[in-house]
Amino acid sequence: MKISSQEEYGLRCLVQLANLRDGESLTLPQIAEREGISAANAGKLMWLLNKAGFVHSTRGTKGGYFLSRPAEDIRLSEIIKVLDEDVMNKHCDSYTGVLDSCVHNGDCGIRPVIVGLHEIVENALSRITLAQLVGTESSVDTMFHKIQGIHRIIEPQRV
Amino acid sequence: MKISSQEEYGLRCLVQLANLRDGESLTLPQIAEREGISAANAGKLMWLLNKAGFVHSTRGTKGGYFLSRPAEDIRLSEIIKVLDEDVMNKHCDSYTGVLDSCVHNGDCGIRPVIVGLHEIVENALSRITLAQLVGTESSVDTMFHKIQGIHRIIEPQRV
DNA sequence: TTCAATCTTGACTAAAAAGTAATGATTTGT
DNA sequence: ACAAATCATTACTTTTTAGTCAAGATTGAA
């Protein structure tokens, strides 16, 4: 269970945009350089994010990308859903209740695990907004503090 | 964020073995047929699981695979760790505290998310044992009930 | 002892994901 | 109008993951 490259870098790019001030924007080469990827690669990611409505872009000189809505309103769960469309599709459609479409009908001990995992991850990511990821402190201390913070946000209440 | 094929089918194979009675075992063709994969593929998975100590095998006629310890003692977190070694390695070693080895030093807003996700998944999987996945009910009702059960197990307490 | 069933292992092939390149379209400034 | 900067889109290449195959080793039974 891991985060795909597309998920990771798509998210990173959005964080870059979330760090901008009002009216500012970033070009593909700028985004690419800040994240250590090629401009072509960044272009592909931004294309996806644009299609999905997270960012707007303007072409020509002085063009670039910027968030299309406030970072406070963008939840990580939405982003991930776009960057990795088939999170769940792949593992039996029974997630949606349609048991017949899964090869493992009648003999699938692990379906509850897959569904359960999907749900806790989705739940955790829905509690974090882009705005909560701004800032670029790098010391072990601040990073540790931040991890604790996210962790507090992430942990769901017991039912 | 998704479960890899290796994780999924490795786990499925172990569930098959967990369903056996004492003294029984399953051959590769048997495992393969039950999971809808090829015997060769099953062989590779079982090889990994054997190396990692989850199963024992006997060769020759009447040979096969069986769990090397009680299903109650095998936590899903251990299994997944073996089936997908580089769960976290990939995303910056800073997870281990060594910040210098990550390309994104000083500009990594998402590290807390990656670490946080890893932790809640690990935590969830460590609460489920193979024994809890035996049985093969397939009706929507029983499956739904099981999902709820796993969900209750999975959700961590609030800190 | 010999044969058939079975696991073991490494090399090979196929499919999927990631990343690159190239061409075209739009905008701004002169 | 023109040139430069920039995004948009599709096709292509590389890398990684998944899956197959075949030759070898071990065991049990006749």
Domain count, chain A: 1
Q: What is the mean pLDDT of chain B?
A: 81
* Both structure tokens of B15: 């569930």
According to the model, what pLDDT value does residue A18 have? 95
In a domain, B34, yes or no: yes
The gap between A75 CA and D18 C1' (Å) is 33
Query: What are the distances in angstroms from CA A114 to CA A105, B9, B78?
Result: 15, 12, 16
- Residue pair B126/B76 in contact (Cβ under 8 Å)? The answer is yes
Nearest to B122 by CA among B158, B70, B78: B78
Interface test with A, best of B31, B87, B89, B138 (most A CBs within 10 A): B138
- Nearest alpha-carbon partner for B108 in A138, A42, A72, A140: A138
**B7, B128, B135: residue with CB nearest A1:** B7
Q: Is residue B97 part of a domain?
A: no
pLDDT single digits (tens) A123-136: 899 999 999 988 75
- What CATH code is carried by the domain that includes residue B15? 1.10.10.10
> Is A97 contained in some domain?
no
For chain A, counts of helices (H) and of strands (E):
6, 2
Task: With a cut of 80, say whether residue B71 has pLDDT above it.
Answer: yes
Dihedral over alpha carbons B103, A84, B76, B47 (to 10 degrees) = -80
Cβ of B50 < 7 Å from strand C? yes
Cβ B109–A19 below 8 Å, yes or no?
yes
CB B17 within 8 A of CB B2: no
Mean pLDDT of B52-74: 97
CB-CB contact of B74 with B54 (8 Å): yes
Longest Cα pair distance anywhere in chain A, in angstroms? 60
- Widest CA span of chain B, in angstroms? 60
Q: For B84, which of A1, A88, A125 is closest by C-beta distance?
A: A1
Q: Of the segments A88-92, A118-122, B42-46, B118-122, which one has the largest average pLDDT value?
A: B42-46
Query: Residue B39 falls within a domain, yes or no?
Result: yes
Position B146 pLDDT exceeds 80: no
* Binary contact (B1, A87; C-beta < 8 A): yes
Tokens 């998920």 identify what position?
A: A7
Q: What is the pLDDT of residue A152?
A: 65
Confidence (pLDDT) at A103: 54
* Nearest protein residue to the C1' atom of C25, measured from CA: A59
pLDDT of B116 above 90? no
Look at residue A56 and tell me if it is in a domain.
Answer: yes
Give a yes or no: residue A112 inside a domain: no
| pLDDT for the residue B24 | 96
CA distance B157 to A159: 9
The predicted pLDDT at position A95 comes to: 44
Q: Is residue B99 in some structural domain?
A: no
Per-residue flag: A63 CB under 7 A of strand D:
yes
pLDDT digits (tens, 9 = 90+) for B16-60: 999 999 999 999 999 999 999 999 999 999 999 999 999 999 999
Contact A112, B88 (CB under 8 A): no
- Closest C-alpha to B117, from B87, B143, B138: B87
A86 interaction partners in chain B (CB closer than 8 Å): 2
Residue A140: pLDDT above 50?
A: no
pLDDT at A30: 96
| pLDDT above 70 coverage of chain A, percent | 70
Quick check: B99 pLDDT over 50? no
Chain D nucleotides close to protein (CB under 7 A) are 4-11, 17-22, 25-29
Residue B89 CB lies within 7 Å of the nucleic strand D: no
* CA dist., res. B45 & res. B10, Å (int): 6
Tens digits of per-residue pLDDT, B5-19? 999 999 999 999 999
Evaluate whether residue A36 is within a structural domain: yes
Integer Cα distance of B129 and B131 in angstroms: 5
Q: Which residue has the higher pLDDT, B102 or A20?
A: A20
Q: Sort out which chain A residues have CB atoms less than 8 A from B102's CB and list them.
A: none
User: In angstroms, rounded to a whole number, what is the distance separating the alpha carbons of residues A150 and A132?
Assistant: 9
More confident residue, B116 or A39: A39
List protein-proximal bases of chain C (any atom < 7 A from a CB).
4-11, 17-22, 25-29
pLDDT digits (tens, 9 = 90+) for A43-85: 999 999 999 999 999 999 999 999 999 999 999 999 999 998 6
Q: In the predicted model, what is the mean pLDDT of residues B88-104?
A: 46
Domain range for A54 is: 5-85+127-154
The answer, yes or no, to whether residue B83 has pLDDT greater than 70, is yes
Label residue A146 by pLDDT band (50, 70, 90): low
Pairing outcome for strands A64-67 and B55-58: unpaired
- For A131, residues 6+ apart whose C-beta sits below 8 A from its C-beta are A18, A70, A71, A72, A74
Higher per-residue pLDDT: B156 or A83: A83
Record: contact A12-B113, CB cut-off 8 A: no
Residue A6's pLDDT band, with cuts at 50, 70 and 90, is: very high
B59 to chain A, minimum CA–CA distance in Å?
27
C-alpha distance from B58 to closest chain A C-alpha (Å): 25
User: What is the pLDDT, as a whole number, of residue A37?
Assistant: 95
Query: B127 or B109: which carries more pLDDT confidence?
Result: B127
Report if CB A146 to strand D is under 7 Å. Answer: no
